[in-house]
Amino acid sequence: MPAPCSSSPAIEIRDLCVNRGGAQVLKNLQLTVNPGEVYALLGGNGAGKSTTLAVLMGFLRPTSGTARVTGLDTASEAAAVRGRIGYLPETVALYETLSAYENIAYFLGLSGARPTRSEMDAALDAAGLQAEARTRRTAGFSKGMRQKVAIAMALLREAPVLLLDEPTTGLDPVAAADFNRLVSGLRERGTAILMVTHDLLGAADCADRIGLLAGGVIVEEARPRGEVDLLGLHRRLGEAATG
Amino acid sequence: MRLGQELRLFLRQRLAVPTLVLLALLSTVSVATGLWEVRRQTETIARIQPLQAEEEKAVSAWVSREGDAGNAAYYTFHATWDPPAALAFAALGQRDVAPYVLRVRALALESQIHEGEAYNAELALSGRFDWAFVATFLAPLILIVLLHDLVSGEREAGRLQALQAAGGSTGLWLRRAGLRLGLAFVALGAPFAAGAWISGAAAGVSLAALGATALYLAFWALVCLGVGALGRSSVANGALLAATWVALTLVLPALAHLLINSTIPVRQGVELTLAQREAVHAGWDKPKDATLNAFFAAHPEWRDTPPVLTGFHWKWYYAFQHLGDLSVADQVAAYRRGLEARDAWTARAGWFLPAVGLQTTLHRMAETDLAAQLAYQDRIRAFHERLRRFYYPYIFNETPFREGDFAKAPRWAEDG
């Protein structure tokens, strides 16, 4: 297994093509995300966002081109790649019969990690899950609370790369703002974050770069911390989504 | 550690514990009813012996007045019995439908053996609720409940990608499947082990029965994993597995049974009874010389005994009784060959139909299969031979049979 190079991008996608069901979903996609950078990938349904995440996690083999995570090829070193990725699906599904602590112990145990209670508390503190909820079964957890548990797992795994799939969909504005602050905090720790989202304002709030994906290619890239025409981007996002 | 986490996760699932408890309960009830039935049969056998002594006493009081050995042989029933093996409680098999106690006389034997071979139609239809039934038919259903959504359930709950991303791979599913399989095996096997201990079964055969059952459950776990690997929904998996269960445990064994029975036709035992009785009754109308000469050809040692002069003589009577047996000897051999051939083909079918294989194996280990039934018949035939050889000197030498002679009569030993 090649050793990851700290100076190389955390995520590096080159000339990535993926065909699914006879259609070309990704067409020579180029994308890099560096350590300590938040990249928001925006696009309409069918733009190829989820396919990109599936390739990065090694669930889908590229038709051509390469995808690397911390220098590891996602197709040939999928298991090692997954060990370096923290993944938050759109809906974080935990085991509802287990508590937050037990869920963390279970999911981390799958990769052989055995965090102590104090380590879990530190991660849950960083994720912002209130202490009284941690021993409760997660059956009654809101989406935001479940996300915080998943973020704590990513922190405990010290994953250099975090993939977020529609993380703020369904969150109320306060919870979404909380989440964006949390993402910013992770960036400070040096985590490379690729966020797939429909939420342009949320992306503008916390992302370093925003890529507009349409028809399997990034048609536009913007840096929200600089000059960016959000309304124009929003309009073009809508146009891309409707083809 | 990982297994402990899996166990905690599994046991907190809504249906996990009730499903395992149900299996343990079914297993316990089947073992309890099996032990009860074996105890009932053992007590029946135990009751036979004092009653036999009482009856002999009554017969001897009457017979010894005249000292007629023909009367003694005719009126004295001799009890035989086939005690249940230690594992019979788990797989009652042929003991439900074939006699395990048979009282025989020194008359023609084959009708005595086969007239008791009328099947208990009620039990033959429904089958006995014994441990073998629970292991063969119900345990796979429990496994299907536990394993049909092993992967699909996680996919439907939205956790599959997260599990895979967290490092869950083939080992995770094998660990989960192994845990469910192991717990189901314990729920099924623990009552059996208790039953085996209570009945004093040898550890070797008990472990062999558990081993065969474990292999059978492992087969069903593999079927569940195979169906799950098709990537369908939990409902589709459940439906496909239920259909597989119906095919492998009900339809295909029934078709195999029909095929074997139609390929190897075997006359009913009662037909042997009728054929032999007709031969015996025809003896009344045949010339005595013809009957006795045929008998002496088989038993030349009695040819030079005093001739039959009167109208009725026990010599003549017992001669045509024995000739009745000889007249159906070929049919009896063919009947037995047919049964053994069917049994052999059923055992072969067991290699392809696991449900048949497990039942056949458990019945063999419990000594409740056809081979055990035929072995009991063989022991009865050997005992009947001893009875005839005991009575013939009195009858053919016309020696008076006295009260003390009853004590010299052969006694049934369980080994024949």
- What average pLDDT is seen over chain B? 88
Is the pLDDT reported for residue A4 higher than 60? no
Q: Which two tokens stand for residue B267?
A: 């006359």
- Looking at CA atoms only, how far is residue A235 from chain B in angstroms? 32
Q: Which of A56, A57, A107 to mutate to test the interface with B (most CBs of B within 10 A)?
A: A107
Q: Which two tokens stand for residue A230?
A: 């959000």
- Say whether B8 and A112 touch across the interface (CB within 8 A): no
Closest to A42 in 3D by CA, of A225, A204, A226:
A204
A95/B333 Cα distance (integer angstroms) = 66
Report the Cα B129 to chain-centroid distance in Å: 14
- Looking at CA atoms only, how far is residue B180 from chain A in angstroms? 18
DSSP-derived letter for residue A75 is T
- Looking at CA atoms only, how far is residue B23 from chain A in angstroms? 23
Q: Answer whether B251's CB lies under 8 Å from B243's CB.
A: no
Q: How much of chain B exceeds pLDDT 70, in percent? A: 95
All residues of chain A having their beta carbon less than 8 Å from the beta carbon of residue B167 are 79, 82-83, 110-112
Measured CB to CB, residues of chain B less than 8 Å from chain A are 1-2, 5, 8-9, 12-13, 157-159, 161-169, 172
B274/A222 Cα distance (integer angstroms) = 101
Is the pLDDT reported for residue B193 higher than 80? yes
A109-113, A128-132, B335-339, B390-394: range with lowest mean pLDDT: A109-113
Query: How many interchain CB pairs under 8 A, A with B?
Result: 59
Chain A, 59 to 78: residues with Cβ < 8 Å from chain B are 59
A55/A74 Cα distance (integer angstroms) = 7
- Say whether B167 and A95 touch across the interface (CB within 8 A): no
- Pick A97's closest partner by Cβ from B1, B13, B166: B13
- Say whether A87 and B158 touch across the interface (CB within 8 A): no
Cβ neighbours of residue B309 closer than 8 Å, sequence gap 6 or more: none
- Say whether A82 and B166 touch across the interface (CB within 8 A): yes
Taking the Cβ of residue A139 and every Cβ of chain B, the question of whether any pair is shorter than 8 Å is answered with no
Is the pLDDT reported for residue B157 higher than 80? yes
- Pick A97's closest partner by Cβ from B12, B164, B166: B12
Higher-pLDDT residue of B415, B101 = B101
A49/A26 Cα distance (integer angstroms) = 9
- Pick A110's closest partner by Cβ from B8, B161, B167: B167
Q: ipTM score of the complex?
A: 0.76
B355/A201 Cα distance (integer angstroms) = 63
All residues of chain B having their beta carbon less than 8 Å from the beta carbon of residue A155 are none
| Residue pLDDT, tens place only, A67-121 | 999 999 999 998 889 888 888 888 888 999 999 999 999 999 888 889 999 999 9
Which residue on chain A is closest to B163 by alpha carbon?
Answer: A107
pTM: 0.84
Q: What is the pLDDT of residue A223?
A: 82
- What average pLDDT is seen over chain A? 85
- Looking at CA atoms only, how far is residue A137 from chain B in angstroms? 11
Closest to B240 in 3D by CA, of B222, B253, B221, B227:
B227
Q: What is the pLDDT of residue B187?
A: 97
Higher-pLDDT residue of B165, A69 = A69
- Mean of pLDDT values over A37-50: 87
User: What is the maximum alpha-carbon separation in chain A?
Assistant: 51
Q: A5 pLDDT band (50/70/90 cuts)?
A: very low
- Mean of pLDDT values over A6-15: 84
CB-neighbour burial class of residue A6 (10 A; exposed 0-12, middle 13-18, buried 19+): exposed
- Say whether B161 and A89 touch across the interface (CB within 8 A): yes
Is the pLDDT reported for residue A1 higher than 50? no
Q: Answer whether A16's CB lies under 8 Å from A62's CB.
A: yes
A70/A4 Cα distance (integer angstroms) = 5
- Mean of pLDDT values over A29-41: 93
Higher-pLDDT residue of B414, A19 = A19
Q: B414 pLDDT band (50/70/90 cuts)?
A: low
Strand partners, B353: none
Is the pLDDT reported for residue B285 higher than 80? no
- Looking at CA atoms only, how far is residue B184 from chain A in angstroms? 21
B31-40, B123-132, B210-219: range with lowest mean pLDDT: B123-132
- Say whether B12 and A108 touch across the interface (CB within 8 A): no
- Kindly tell me the sign of the dihedral angle through the C-alpha atoms of B344, B347, B353, B355: positive
Taking the Cβ of residue A141 and every Cβ of chain B, the question of whether any pair is shorter than 8 Å is answered with no
Q: What is the pLDDT of residue A3?
A: 37
Is the pLDDT reported for residue B1 higher than 70? no
Higher-pLDDT residue of B46, B413 = B46
- Mean of pLDDT values over A137-161: 88
Q: Answer whether A184's CB lies under 8 Å from A176's CB.
A: no
Q: B274 pLDDT band (50/70/90 cuts)?
A: confident
| Residue pLDDT, tens place only, A166-215 | 888 777 788 788 888 888 888 888 899 999 988 788 788 888 999 988 88
- Pick A82's closest partner by Cβ from B8, B13, B167: B167
- Say whether B166 and A93 touch across the interface (CB within 8 A): no
Q: A2 pLDDT band (50/70/90 cuts)?
A: very low
Higher-pLDDT residue of B416, A238 = A238
Q: B66 pLDDT band (50/70/90 cuts)?
A: confident
- Looking at CA atoms only, how far is residue A109 from chain B in angstroms? 7
Q: Answer whether B386's CB lies under 8 Å from B114's CB.
A: no
- Looking at CA atoms only, how far is residue B188 from chain A in angstroms? 26
Q: What is the pLDDT of residue B117?
A: 56
Q: CB count, 10 Å around CB of B54?
A: 10
User: What is the maximum alpha-carbon separation in chain B?
Assistant: 102
Taking the Cβ of residue A36 and every Cβ of chain B, the question of whether any pair is shorter than 8 Å is answered with no
Q: A228 pLDDT band (50/70/90 cuts)?
A: low
- Looking at CA atoms only, how far is residue A230 from chain B in angstroms? 33
Q: What is the pLDDT of residue A227?
A: 57
Taking the Cβ of residue A106 and every Cβ of chain B, the question of whether any pair is shorter than 8 Å is answered with yes
- Say whether B1 and A114 touch across the interface (CB within 8 A): yes
All residues of chain A having their beta carbon less than 8 Å from the beta carbon of residue B159 are 93-95
- Say whether A57 and B161 touch across the interface (CB within 8 A): yes
What are the CA-CA distances from residue B151 to residues A104, A164, B387 (Å)?
Answer: 20, 23, 68
DSSP string over A173-235: HHHHHHHHHHHHHHHHTT-EEEEEES-HHHHHHH-SEEEEEETTEEEEEE-TTS---HHHHHH
Q: What is the pLDDT of residue B244?
A: 97
Q: What is the pLDDT of residue A136?
A: 94
Q: Which two tokens stand for residue B198?
A: 């209570």
Is the pLDDT reported for residue B357 higher than 90? yes
B120/B122 Cα distance (integer angstroms) = 6
Strand partners, B249: none
- Mean of pLDDT values over B118-133: 69
| Residue pLDDT, tens place only, B359-390 | 999 999 999 999 999 999 999 999 999 999 99
